[in-house]
Amino acid sequence: MSILVLGTVALDTVKTPFGVRKNILGGSAVHFAMSARFFSRVNLVAIVGEDFPEKHTEFFKKKQIVLTSLIRSRGSTFHWEGEYQGDLNTALTHKTELGVLSAFAPQVHHSQRKIEYIFLANVDPDIQKKLLENMHAPKFVGLDSMNYWIKHKRASLLRLLKEVDIYVANDAEAREISGESNLLKAARYIRKIGPDMVLIKKGEHGVLFYCDKFLFSLPAYPTDKVIDPTGAGDTFAGAFMGYLSKVKSINERSLKRAIMYGTILASFNVEGFGTERTASLSPNEIAKRLKHFERIIRPN
Amino acid sequence: MSILVLGTVALDTVKTPFGVRKNILGGSAVHFAMSARFFSRVNLVAIVGEDFPEKHTEFFKKKQIVLTSLIRSRGSTFHWEGEYQGDLNTALTHKTELGVLSAFAPQVHHSQRKIEYIFLANVDPDIQKKLLENMHAPKFVGLDSMNYWIKHKRASLLRLLKEVDIYVANDAEAREISGESNLLKAARYIRKIGPDMVLIKKGEHGVLFYCDKFLFSLPAYPTDKVIDPTGAGDTFAGAFMGYLSKVKSINERSLKRAIMYGTILASFNVEGFGTERTASLSPNEIAKRLKHFERIIRPN
């Protein structure tokens, strides 16, 4: 089983009530990969600058991430600086330096073009579209985006939505793209204009999954140990897509299971800065927490 | 099976994006009763004024609510005027006229003093305490309160919390009383200072139940038909307590089932102004929605 993810590799500076970390490894594709790797062979399509530390490349290799389509280019690695206050629900962005990302033209190595499970993490929808055109046999394509693209590249995003199987959005994005404040209405709207499935992530409030055949609502894993929520959504998507690429079957049972794993992996991600917690995670810890979670949500 | 509820009977004026209703039947004890009646014989302990329309008394009787301890007193019935805007998540209070409620001394008829299941809906904690002292054999006591009492009668409320079995709070109240923004920490704090069980209602995000033996997290029933959320919390409590008084057994299974029913009844309550929807509800509709909900939350 293999999965391909297009997204960012970043050097993040993050401040939360629990401390500050400077230039730590981050980015959507990284958080996705750190989670998906428990289920599938992860192929990274991304770009880094000359300043990208060799130790991070070694770290990827150690985690069995396939780097064939990771471009190293002249310039600086994408840099994000942000802060979380109070209950850590909202990120305050202090700085975004695109660096090499501003001229990113993803190249998928021919050996990777037959990969069937594809996730387009948050980058310019035109770049996401180009990546998709590179692929020979997409079977299940997931798409993430963000408010910036919804606002500034709406037409591109709407076109792309018709070509993917699932749109993975957070609640604010689902509301923004649909113009509906009620999430069920938002999900229905998105389904109507595009993908067969819509997955709305509500942070600490869990997720809502919508498709024609069934609805699925799942709370988050209750935790009081939120250190740094950066990348929780991508970590969710990584386990969700990774699990589906492992079982190679898309049905109510597998989708719900994938959402359960997404929830569990995301709950680990927030327990440490950057990839600290997901990088050191063991399959045994995942299995144990999943079991605990199953009891917490069991209605009988 | 019988249950006794202490709370308010009100004449509410409510404005939502779907319209305005003037002086409609409302109040915590009313919403509780309209929901608990599906499971148990509801005994109302409350006060109304001379202006309380006879048709409402007739309505209670028709719904088999026991009115033996409903006082009719000189003065005006408690009146609340509020408005919901946008996504209807927060009530804007325009007016609160206590009327007869300001001199309310609850009287429980001797025939009702042996009732074992008791719910103290939101009124002054000193009044809640007096009611409890009237009861001869409390077996399971639930308590609701609100930010006003947490702020202005904290000592009374804290004393009372030690005498009840479950504290039913919304997220804002749980945060206020505990000083913790994380709801799991808030629940643990409340458990430590008082009741064996804590139930935190998160509105459209469902509920979190906490006790020493288990945690239970349940999303809300996903609905896009929110007309008027007034009384949703009391409606939840009504089904929750009503169900427990029906099965006369407090364990993981019955508590989870009670929370499921609370969720379902609350989802009906918001679909109409005041008691419109819960008053006309049939057991068959409840059973049908419960079945649908079970599929929506089923993780496999």
- CB spacing of A182 vs B224 below 8 angstroms: yes
Is B22 a residue whose pLDDT tops 80? Answer: yes
Of A216, A218, A300, the CB nearest to B257: A300
- Chain-wide mean pLDDT for chain B? 96
Rounded Cα–Cα distance for residues B202 and A203 (Å): 14
Q: What strands, in cross-sheet order, belong to the sheet with A91-97?
A: A19-26, A10-16, A78-84, A91-97
pLDDT tier at B99 (50, 70, 90 boundaries)? very high
The pLDDT of residue B197 is above 80 = yes
Q: Does the distance separating the beta carbons of B181 and A300 come in below 8 Å?
A: no
d(CA B290, CA B265): 9
A74 in reach of chain B (CB within 8 A): no
A185 inside 8 A of chain B by CB: yes
Percent of chain B residues past pLDDT 70, beyond the cut: 100
Q: CA-to-CA distance for B295 and B289, rounded, in angstroms? A: 10
Is residue B205 over pLDDT 90?
Answer: yes
Among B45, B97, B46, smallest CA distance to B75 is for B97
B224·A184 Cβ contact <8 A: yes
Q: What is the pLDDT of residue A147?
A: 87
ipTM of the complex as predicted:
0.91
Each residue's pLDDT tens digit, A178-198:
999 899 999 999 999 999 999
Determine the residue type at A85.
Q
User: Across residues B231-254, what is the average pLDDT?
Assistant: 97
Confidence of residue B167 (pLDDT cuts 50, 70, 90): very high
Span B198-221, average pLDDT: 97
The pLDDT, as a whole number, for residue B111 is: 95
Whether A186 contacts chain B with CB within 8 A: no
- B134: containing domain: 2-297
**Cβ <8 Å between B87 and A295:** no
Extended strands (E) in A85-174: 91-97, 117-120, 140-143, 166-170
- Smallest Cβ–Cβ distance between B208 and the set A86, A87, A222 belongs to A222
Confidence of residue B176 (pLDDT cuts 50, 70, 90): very high
Report pLDDT for B91. Answer: 85
Cβ A298–B219 below 8 Å, yes or no?
Answer: no
The pLDDT, as a whole number, for residue A279 is 96
- Could you give the C-alpha distances from B69 to B45, B80, B105, in angstroms and in order? 5, 22, 11
Residues of B in contact with A181 (CB under 8 A): 86-87
A204-234: pLDDT as tens digits: 999 999 999 999 999 999 999 999 999 999 9
Q: Does the CB of A249 have a partner CB in chain B at under 8 Å? A: no
Q: Which CATH number is B111's domain given?
A: 3.40.1190.20
- Chain A partners within 8 Å of B188 (Cβ): 224
Confidence label for A87 from pLDDT (cuts 50, 70 and 90): confident
Contact assignment for A297 to B218 by CB distance below 8 Å: yes
Whether residue A295 and residue B184 make contact (CB cut-off 8 A), yes or no, is no
> What is the predicted pLDDT for the residue at A89?
77
CA distance A30 to chain B (A): 28
Q: Note whether A214 contacts B296, CB cutoff 8 Å.
A: yes
| pLDDT band at residue B101 under the 50/70/90 scheme | very high
- Looking at residues A27-55, what average pLDDT do you find? 98
pLDDT (tens digit per residue) in A230-258: 999 999 999 999 999 999 999 999 999 99
Q: Can you spell out the DSSP letters for A84-98?
A: E-TTS-SEEEEEEE-
Per-residue pLDDT, B85? 85
B184 touches A at CB < 8 Å: yes
Q: Do B183 and A222 touch (CB under 8 A)?
A: yes
Are A235 and A278 within 8 A, CB to CB? yes
Question: pLDDT tens digit string along B58-95?
Answer: 999 999 999 999 999 999 999 999 999 877 878 889 99
Q: Which residue of A has its CA nearest to B187?
A: A224
Mean pLDDT of B252-269: 98
Provide the shortest C-alpha distance from residue A146 to chain B (in Å).
22
Q: What is the DSSP letter of B52?
A: S
Tell me the pTM: 0.94
Averaged over A250-274, what is the pLDDT?
98
Looking at the complex, report in whole angstroms how far the Cα of residue B135 sits from the nearest Cα belonging to chain A: 32
Which residue is listed with tokens 């440490």? Answer: A272
Name residue B53's beta-bridge partners.
none
Question: Between chains, do A222 and B184 touch, taking CB under 8 Å as contact?
Answer: yes
- Total count of domains within chain B: 1
How far does B156 lie from chain A, in Å, by closest CA? 29
pLDDT of residue B31: 98
- Tell me how far CA of residue A91 lies from CA of A22, A81, B3, B197, in angstroms: 16, 10, 47, 33
Q: Do A299 and B297 touch (CB under 8 A)?
A: yes
| Portion 138-177 of A in contact with B at CB < 8 A | none
Q: Which of A88, A176, A182 to mutate to test the interface with B (most CBs of B within 10 A)?
A: A182
Q: What is the mean pLDDT of residues B236-249?
A: 98
Q: Is A85 on the interface with B (CB under 8 A)?
A: no
Both structure tokens of B88: 């209807």
For residue B224, which residues of chain A lie inside 8 Å, CB to CB? 182, 184-185, 188
> A165 — phi, psi (to 5°)?
-90, -30
Confidence of residue A101 (pLDDT cuts 50, 70, 90): very high
Q: Determine, for residues A183 and B215 on separate chains, whether the beta-carbon distance falls below 8 Å.
A: no
Minimum mean pLDDT range among A89-103, A248-262, A279-293, B159-173: A89-103
Cβ–Cβ contact B200 with A under 8 A:
no
Which residue, among B84, B210, B215, B226, would best test binding to A if mutated, counting the most A CBs under 10 Å from its CB?
B215
- Out of A86, A216, A220, the one facing B181 most closely (by C-beta) is A86
Residue A21 CA to residue A23 CA, distance in Å, equals 7
Contact A218 B299 (CB under 8 A): yes
Strand order in the sheet with B66-72: B66-72, B41-48, B2-6, B117-120, B140-144, B166-170, B197-201, B207-210, B215-218
Q: Does B291 reach chain A within 8 Å, measured CB to CB?
A: no
Confidence (pLDDT) at B87: 74
A17–B contact, CB cutoff 8 A: no
Predicted pLDDT at A91:
85
Of A190, A213, A296, which to mutate for an interface test with B (greatest number of B Cβ within 10 Å)? A296
Of B184, B218, B226, the CB nearest to A223: B184
